[in-house]
């Protein structure tokens, strides 16, 4: 029997790339329509925040892609019901944008935003080690509920970002690690 090597569509994550592209295009549409322009009042953004928060609270944990996976996972290419997926994702995005428009610029958040690429890269290290520890401690010792899940995610994000600060600081002080070091130009003779 002859064995052949094939790659599935999931291997290349082309379907998830299209999902990501749809969110990018949605962001471009919001920008072109100037939905979140600076001249709007905080009441406008607070209204959007409350509407999206209520919607997310009602729909939280309603989109279960399979019996095994109880949550949406881009890593596994599991999105569940497309309508619920996009409704939750867009509501969450609008809620975060509204919250960012309401709060004043904070130096800590500005620093994280300017170094977000480094934080995301360093987070890849923590996904394998830190999240396993948090899940083991949280879900073995506490009963599973929506509140436990949300609090463990917030704790994991806080811990991951806190541990990323020293590494981000060191990497930013060594600019050639992130491609910001100017290469010497040789003069031709």
pLDDT at 52: 93
Q: pLDDT digits over 121-136, tens only?
A: 787 777 767 777 777 7
pLDDT at 20: 81
Q: pLDDT digits over 136-183, tens only?
A: 776 677 777 777 777 777 887 788 888 888 888 888 777 666 666 565
Q: Which residues of 165-180 are buried (b: 16+ CB within 10 A; e: fewer)?
A: eeebeebeeeeeeeee
Which pTM was predicted? 0.59
Q: pLDDT digits over 20-76, tens only?
A: 888 889 888 988 988 887 778 889 899 999 999 999 888 877 766 666 666 666 666
Are 117 and 177 in contact by the 8 Å Cβ rule? The answer is no
Q: Is residue 118 scored above 70 in pLDDT?
A: yes
pLDDT band at 10 (very low <50, low <70, confident <90, very high): low
Provide the token pair at 135: 């899940």
Q: Is residue 16 scored above 70 in pLDDT?
A: yes
pLDDT at 19: 81
**pLDDT higher at 127 or 19:** 19
Residue carrying structure tokens 């109880």:
70
Q: Is residue 7 scored above 60 in pLDDT?
A: no
CA angle (135 as vertex; 120, 72 as ends), nearest 5: 65
User: Is the sign of the CA dihedral 69, 75, 78, 79 positive or negative?
Assistant: positive
Provide the token pair at 78: 């599991």
Interval 12-27 mean pLDDT: 80
pLDDT at 8: 52
């Amino acid at each position: 029997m002859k064995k052949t090597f094939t790659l599935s569509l999931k291997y290349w994550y082309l379907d998830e790339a299209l999902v990501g592209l749809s969110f990018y295009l949605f962001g471009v549409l919001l920008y072109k329509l100037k939905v979140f322009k600076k001249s709007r009042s905080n009441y406008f953004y607070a209204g959007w925040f409350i509407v999206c928060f209520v919607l997310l609270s009602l729909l939280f944990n309603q989109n279960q892609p399979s019996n095994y996976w109880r949550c949406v996972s881009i890593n596994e290419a599991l999105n569940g019901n497309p309508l619920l997926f996009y409704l939750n994702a867009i509501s969450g995005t609008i809620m975060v944008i509204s919250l960012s428009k309401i709060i004043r610029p904070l130096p800590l958040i500005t620093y994280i935003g300017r170094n977000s690429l480094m934080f995301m890269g360093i987070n890849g290290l923590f996904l394998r080690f830190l999240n396993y520890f948090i899940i083991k401690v949280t879900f073995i010792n506490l009963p599973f509920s929506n509140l436990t899940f949300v609090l463990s995610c917030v704790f994991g994000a806080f811990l991951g970002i806190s541990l990323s600060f020293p590494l981000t600081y060191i990497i930013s002080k060594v600019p050639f690690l992130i491609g910001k070091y100017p290469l010497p130009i040789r003069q031709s003779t």
